[in-house]
Structure 1
């Protein structure tokens, strides 16, 4: 990762403190051994600057002491950094090491870049397990065996999900999941030549199984196991595998809703988790009414951002790592956590243009059904979609020991903003742009596309009111509620309250009005009353 030129200002050096990317060394007697620990830690984290000839005072501020014979120290440094007995790799070029002058005293500035994943771990001496360091706050710490192993996994040219499982066969796959995937694939690729293949041939084409030339047999790949396997089969290859969705919108209870891969009530694989959770996450998001030709389009930049955040979490997870994938929904936003740190620098990833998923075959499988942004544009899609909708910047955090990536999509009073944004934009517009399918309208079991781009379902003529019939703001809100009921089936008053951020009295008013207009019907007594589209 290219480091910022303005990471520090020499004229303001006395005001600085040591931090995650800045380290001061007095270096009075020459190159200190501790400098190589910092070199390793910066290279294995996010890069940083080492200042030789600068002392840290008791209050934490810097004092320039200067180095003696800077030219000789430079020569010694270059000899050491190129000595494989001292450090395993030299990441520096001449411009990274400079001599600065501060009030007549010499300082050596060493800019250490973040090491490319192919070069990590960067370690001191001959033993990566004892010589690898990382940066945490203002100090260097020894990497655990787990962290070093994770860096070696990421260093391979081929991604970890390409591995052939030679002790397994097709029985590891949940065929219901495979057929759900094929149904959606057939929708995305009408009359595709692969649609005529049998299941084994099809799985070979998408990378779920691979051919072993020595044995002349096909075996499941780790990507196929993750995507389509049963949870108990996945655990035999990935003992730490765990997928967890938690809805924490009600602080009075532990969670409103939860879906975990370990329950044994469903397959527990990545594909089924993605579709179930994508729908749960997008459940409350506004769907402005717009047309593409004569078809309704409900896929917005906001929906794409949330969907991409979920997908990005799943395809970049290190499933050998601890704590699993955890998705949380709060009243003020979402968090997406996965084992494994960024394979490229965070700023580089945010800029886009570089695609380096940890599980490339898994990513390819999703891309084949029109899910996932290519060419490294996934993170910019998340940023643009969320920020344009709510004005708040998504945040990423890389933590270590164990390695973990955390994405936060935050918005104060999210439920109120969701409702106001939707009610203010629920007007008919023409659009001839992106035709990405609305996954919340797909039935993975059948691949039924009848509801795609037409969330109201349009099952009966009176089910969807026209703009002429509903034109004021109240009518707009009623149209949204009507669409919600048409999409979700039978609902309660509490569902409408939660989905649109309404009070109980407001929800009852809108539901009663829709009943009176004959657009929905009420079922059951007052206490247990539900509503459904006619």
Structure 2
């Protein structure tokens, strides 16, 4: 997030600026900070960061803005830093000198304050004793579930916790252990003639660990070991809301799945993380088309293998980074045009860092270690670049990453289709009209479409259905403003554009 350049946000001589959203907040402030200022500071710090702009008021009824200005800029800045360093106001100081800027617009002073997201293990930042999160265009007091999530996240590695001695080898699935041992043998890591029994084997790979904080020196099963190898009933004794779900659909708009792998149902009564991975990976690979795509040098492209690699990385990523104590489970959706991977737990690194492979912070290090032992997760921070490269090399739609701080989930969508042809796929006449309308109107509502003189395709219900279909196809996006939704054509993500630019510099200049 950067400061706004107010000299560029004019339209036909009138004031024009982005609406409030999850990263932008306007506040009217003439001579003192508004009461809600620190609530917004807390909410931005506890989510993805943002910018607060003082001296602008918004008419909520029609979402228009007016410049009110700040009369006493130096006094307000002094108040910001005094309160920033006051523990009774903010739990710890997070605003630095270079995070505050005075801008002049229409002969009035405006103050911009950048709020950077706090590291995952330093949250929550509280304001006046309460923690806030940012959802949509508003600040919300953190729920008990969200506060619990902050507490668990502060511990860093969360699946190395030792379970009580009542959890034993009997709580683990013998077939899963046998399949895993076979993979270890195939990798040449242990000799096929090795005579270790299952317990000794699990001790050797860290599924059971010695309790070094007591004098007993007993070995205890870890959370990660239970999740990876456990029987479903035993897993849910520790993680009551544990759920792994794969759903395959025969079209992008279908609501009824044609294939499903779901933990605990009659077909998969003993599903754990390891077995789910093995089952689902084969299904993802089978659903990737293998078209003949010719490269510029007239050779066959690596589309099929690239997409398999991307899907594998996203699947492993969702399982390694899941917050299994969360309110929702892992969900993998397989549609003709895309894969979608949703896991409980917000991304611990920025989207840019993930896609460029700059930094990795694994939530479940025990599960990651077990995957690495059999070559499933090979290199830290390699998943994002492989997902990005699959899209770049095959001209596919941009991978999409979205984080929901309200329920603490991360969603990654990987497209199977080309950005050059996606607008021609299964579009109805009304969908084509909406896309054409969107090119001429940067933002629009259902009513705008309905009353358009060129709309000969349907009224409100038909328009809403078409809009929902276009959202699922990734061609438009929506945002709630007040009581209504505003739509716009889906642009390339800002973070992805930046990543592509940096990658171009590295590949063509920095070498």
| TM-score category, normalised to shorter length | 0.7 to 0.9
**What is the aligned partner in structure 2 of residue 8 from structure 1?**
4
Distance 1:218 1:287, change over 3 A: farther
**What is the aligned partner in structure 2 of residue 50 from structure 1?**
52
The question of 1:323 aligning with 2:328 is answered: yes
Given the alignment, which residue of 279, 297, 309 partners 2:282? 279
The question of 1:143 aligning with 2:142 is answered: yes
Q: Secondary structure at the match of 1:374?
A: coil
Distance 1:100 1:231, change over 3 A: same
Contact 2:209 2:222 in 1 (8 A): yes
For structure 2, the residue ranges without an aligned partner over 5 or more in a row are: 10-14, 293-301, 423-511
C-alpha RMSD of matched pairs (Å): 2.7
Give the Cα–Cα distance (whole angstroms) in 1 for the partners of residues 208 and 291 of structure 2: 41
Contact 1:170 1:219 in 2 (8 A): no
The question of 1:37 aligning with 2:39 is answered: yes
Superposed CA offset, 1:102-148 (max 9, x none): 3442222110001111111111122xxxx222222222122221112
Map 1:401-480 to 2 at 5 A.
401-412=406-417
Superposed CA offset, 1:150-204 (max 9, x none): 12211213x1101100131111111221121111012223456996644323322
Superposed CA offset, 1:488-530 (max 9, x none): xxxxxxxxxxxxxxxxxxxxxxxxxxxxxxxxxxxxxxxxxxx
Distance 1:8 1:373, change over 3 A: farther
Distance 1:190 1:134, change over 3 A: closer
**What is the aligned partner in structure 2 of residue 206 from structure 1?**
205
**What is the aligned partner in structure 2 of residue 461 from structure 1?**
none
Give the Cα–Cα distance (whole angstroms) in 2 for the partners of residues 363 and 299 of structure 1: 26
Superposed CA offset, 1:344-371 (max 9, x none): 2223322222111211110111011111
**What is the aligned partner in structure 2 of residue 263 from structure 1?**
265
The question of 1:18 aligning with 2:16 is answered: no
User: Structure 2 length normalisation: TM-score?
Assistant: 0.73
Give the Cα–Cα distance (whole angstroms) in 1 for the partners of residues 303 and 6 of structure 2: 53
Distance 1:160 1:68, change over 3 A: same
Given the alignment, which residue of 100, 103, 111 partners 1:100? 103
Q: Secondary structure at the match of 1:279?
A: helix
**What is the aligned partner in structure 2 of residue 86 from structure 1?**
89
The question of 1:164 aligning with 2:162 is answered: yes
Give the Cα–Cα distance (whole angstroms) in 1 for the partners of residues 353 and 254 of structure 2: 40
Give the Cα–Cα distance (whole angstroms) in 2 for the partners of residues 142 and 65 of structure 1: 28
Distance 1:340 1:92, change over 3 A: same
Compute the displacement of 1:268 (Å). Answer: 0.9
Distance 1:391 1:412, change over 3 A: closer
Q: Which has the larger radius of gyration?
A: 1
Higher alpha-carbon deviation: 251-260 or 316-325: 251-260
Contact 1:194 1:202 in 2 (8 A): no
Superposed CA offset, 1:257-282 (max 9, x none): 11111125442100000000000110
Compute the displacement of 1:400 (Å). Answer: 3.1
Given the alignment, which residue of 117, 121, 146 partners 2:120? 117
Contact 2:339 2:416 in 1 (8 A): no
Distance 1:62 1:194, change over 3 A: farther
Superposed CA offset, 1:184-228 (max 9, x none): 012223456996644323322322111113121111100000000
Give the Cα–Cα distance (whole angstroms) in 2 for the partners of residues 253 and 145 of structure 1: 33
Distance 1:24 1:284, change over 3 A: closer
**What is the aligned partner in structure 2 of residue 61 from structure 1?**
64
Give the Cα–Cα distance (whole angstroms) in 2 for the partners of residues 359 and 391 of structure 1: 31
The question of 1:358 aligning with 2:363 is answered: yes
Superposed CA offset, 1:2-33 (max 9, x none): xx33x522214531122221111111240112
Give the Cα–Cα distance (whole angstroms) in 1 for the partners of residues 415 and 334 of structure 2: 10
Compute the displacement of 1:252 (Å). Answer: 7.2
**What is the aligned partner in structure 2 of residue 240 from structure 1?**
241
Give the Cα–Cα distance (whole angstroms) in 2 for the partners of residues 10 and 194 of structure 1: 72
The question of 1:300 aligning with 2:302 is answered: no
Distance 1:62 1:193, change over 3 A: farther
Compute the displacement of 1:65 (Å). Answer: 2.1
Q: Secondary structure at the match of 1:300?
A: helix
Given the alignment, which residue of 382, 388, 397 partners 1:392? 397
Give the Cα–Cα distance (whole angstroms) in 1 for the partners of residues 191 and 56 of structure 2: 66
Give the Cα–Cα distance (whole angstroms) in 2 for the partners of residues 103 and 323 of structure 1: 48
For structure 1, the residue ranges without an aligned partner over 5 or more in a row are: 290-296, 418-534
Compute the displacement of 1:231 (Å). Answer: 0.4
**How many residues get paired?**
400
Distance 1:98 1:298, change over 3 A: closer
Compute the displacement of 1:334 (Å). Answer: 1.5
Given the alignment, which residue of 314, 317, 327 partners 1:312? 317
**What is the aligned partner in structure 2 of residue 186 from structure 1?**
185
Contact 1:18 1:60 in 2 (8 A): no
**What is the aligned partner in structure 2 of residue 500 from structure 1?**
none
User: Structure 1 length normalisation: TM-score?
Assistant: 0.70
Q: Secondary structure at the match of 1:362?
A: helix
Contact 1:56 1:62 in 2 (8 A): yes
Q: Secondary structure at the match of 1:161?
A: coil
Give the Cα–Cα distance (whole angstroms) in 2 for the partners of residues 196 and 105 of structure 1: 80
Compute the displacement of 1:97 (Å). Answer: 1.4
Distance 1:163 1:75, change over 3 A: same
